[in-house]
């Protein structure tokens, strides 16, 4: 038997994502090895650190199987309800669109799932390819129209307040009170002029949460932020996170709606994209305070874009 090997991928992960110190990486590896051995009686053959913003993720290979292991990142205890997540992912298993779950700790979020073989995450570019736009739209429609019963609601305003209150320091972004006032105004407009379309939603449609396997089947993973929400939130999230242009957005929304999107569809998408940018910019401050990595530039970029979109919406109203 070969000795177990470790592939750290330091350059990519430290330079582009969390910039985790070497000591922290070794601590996480030791923790993964100990917890994994207590749950699965298969000696680890290979262990590698893979990407992730909210958490620290590992690919663990034994002589017979491959697994995906998640260690919750710093600060997640204040922004994620693990009991809700566990309930929701058990519901999602019935749809066969998530990686099969093996173990999930509802207290600390440590999770082991089967590794989807011969699969690749969708990059922003691949997520915008016409075939993948249509495939993603069909997957989301299947989720939204399913009888999955989540235990919670994903309420943007409540979560924004929760994240803000969890900060030790005041929000550092420029003119945040004015931005929040604009959110209040646009949110009232949303409630009065747009239909609320409740459905079980993923709520975090970054391309990295979509896996395409060798059989061209699409999987949607990481349900930490899942909950009942207006399904336009998921549609807006997908288009925002893959940075789709208007033509690509038209392909995606037409495939989902089974009709040509109208002006009201586009405006609602834009409202939710503004809310998402502001919400995740506050999320970045929570992560930064928790010392989980360098999120300043990420947060500033999202906040600036969100403020710009809010101002456009104010002018439109």
One-character DSSP codes across 113-155:
EE--TT-EEPPHHHHTSHHHHHHHHHHHHHHHTS----SSB--
Give the CA radius of gyration of the chain. Answer: 20
Q: Which two tokens stand for residue 85?
A: 């997540």
Domain boundary among 94, 114, 134: 114
- Residue 223 tokens, joined: 């349900």
Q: Answer yes or no: do 132 and 257 share one domain.
A: yes
pLDDT for the residue 16 = 40
* Residues 169-222 pLDDT 10s: 999 999 999 999 999 999 999 999 999 999 999 999 999 999 999 899 999 999
Instruction: Give the whole-number percent of the chain exceeding pLDDT 90.
Output: 78
pLDDT average, residue stretch 254-277: 98
Average pLDDT over residues 260-289: 97
CATH of the domain at 156: 3.90.1200.10
- Cα 155 to Cα 66, 68, 286, distances in angstroms: 36, 29, 18
Mean pLDDT for 277-295 is: 89
**Per-residue confidence (pLDDT) for residue 19, from 0 to 100:** 52
Lowest-confidence region among 19-33, 152-166, 206-220, 289-303: 19-33
Task: Show the domain range for 109.
Answer: 5-114
Same domain, 256 and 137: yes
Question: Which pLDDT score, from 0 to 100, does residue 72 have?
Answer: 86
Clarify whether residues 234 and 131 are in a common domain.
yes
Q: What is the mean pLDDT of the chain?
A: 90
> In terms of domains, do 21 and 108 share one?
yes
Say whether both 190 and 85 belong to one domain. no
Tokens of 12: 């990519």
Confidence class of residue 18 from pLDDT cuts 50, 70 and 90?
very low
- The verdict on 101 and 124 lying in the same domain is no
Whether residue 8 is predicted with pLDDT greater than 70 in this model: the reply is no
Last residue of a domain, one of 95, 114, 133: 114
What tens digit of pLDDT does each residue of 142-179 get? Answer: 999 999 999 999 999 999 999 999 999 999 999 999 99
Specify the pLDDT at position 14: 38
Are 186 and 210 in contact by the 8 Å Cβ rule? The answer is no
Same domain, 57 and 125: no
- Place 79 in a pLDDT band, splitting at 50, 70 and 90: confident
Task: Give the relative orientation of helices 263-289 and 232-241 as an angle to the nearest 10 degrees.
Answer: 70
Q: Give yes or no for residue 12 having a pLDDT over 70.
A: no
Q: Are residues 188 and 306 in the same domain?
A: yes
pLDDT of residue 78: 80
Domain shared by 65 and 206, yes or no: no
**What domain count does the chain have?**
2
pLDDT at 292: 67
pLDDT band at 21 (very low <50, low <70, confident <90, very high): low
Domain end among 114, 143, 174: 114
> CA 244, CA 247: separation in Å to the nearest integer?
8
Q: Which of 60-64, 71-75, 208-212, 285-289 has the lowest mean pLDDT?
A: 71-75
pLDDT at 108: 86
Q: What is the CATH number of the domain that holds 25?
A: 3.30.200.20
- In this predicted structure, the answer to whether residue 11 has a pLDDT above a threshold of 60 is no
- The predicted pLDDT at position 27 comes to 85
Torsion of CA 23, 26, 31, 37, to 10 degrees: -170
Lowest mean pLDDT: which of 125-129, 159-163, 176-180, 290-294?
Answer: 290-294
Sequence-ordered alpha helix ranges (H) in 210-295: 232-241, 246-257, 263-289
Q: Say whether both 104 and 180 belong to one domain.
A: no
- Residues 284 and 267: their CA atoms lie apart, in Å, by 26
Whether residues 74 and 130 fall in one domain: no
Q: Are residues 19 and 42 in the same domain?
A: yes
């Amino acid at each position: 038997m070969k000795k177990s090997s470790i592939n750290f991928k330091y350059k990519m992960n430290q330079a582009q994502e969390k910039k985790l110190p070497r000591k922290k990486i070794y601590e996480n590896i030791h923790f993964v090895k100990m917890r994994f051995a207590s749950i699965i009686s298969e000696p680890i053959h290979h262990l590698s650190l893979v990407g992730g913003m909210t958490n620290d993720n590992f690919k663990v290979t034994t002589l017979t199987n491959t697994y995906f292991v998640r260690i919750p990142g710093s600060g997640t205890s204040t922004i994620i309800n693990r009991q809700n997540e566990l309930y929701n992912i058990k519901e999602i298993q019935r749809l066969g669109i998530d990686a099969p779950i093996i173990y999930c700790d509802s207290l600390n979020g440590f999770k082991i799932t089967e590794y989807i073989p011969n699969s690749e995450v969708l990059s922003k570019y691949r997520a915008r390819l016409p075939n993948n736009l249509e495939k993603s739209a069909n997957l989301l429609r299947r989720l939204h129209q399913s009888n999955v019963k989540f235990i919670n609601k994903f309420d943007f305003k409540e979560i924004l307040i929760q994240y803000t209150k969890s900060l030790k320091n005041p929000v550092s972004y420029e003119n945040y009170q004015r931005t929040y006032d604009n959110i209040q105004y646009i949110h009232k407009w949303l409630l009065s002029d747009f239909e609320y379309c409740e459905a079980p939603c993923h709520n975090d449609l970054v391309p990295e949460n979509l896996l395409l396997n060798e059989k061209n089947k699409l999987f949607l993973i990481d349900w930490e932020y899942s909950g009942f929400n207006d399904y336009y939130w998921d549609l807006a999230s997908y288009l925002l996170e893959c940075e789709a242009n208007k033509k690509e957005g038209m392909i995606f929304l037409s495939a989902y709606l089974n009709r040509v999107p109208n002006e009201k569809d586009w405006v609602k998408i834009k409202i939710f994209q503004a809310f998402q940018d502001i919400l995740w910019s506050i999320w970045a401050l929570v992560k930064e305070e928790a010392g989980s990595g360098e999120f300043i530039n990420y947060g500033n970029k999202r906040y600036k874009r969100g403020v710009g979109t809010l101002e456009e919406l104010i002018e439109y109203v």
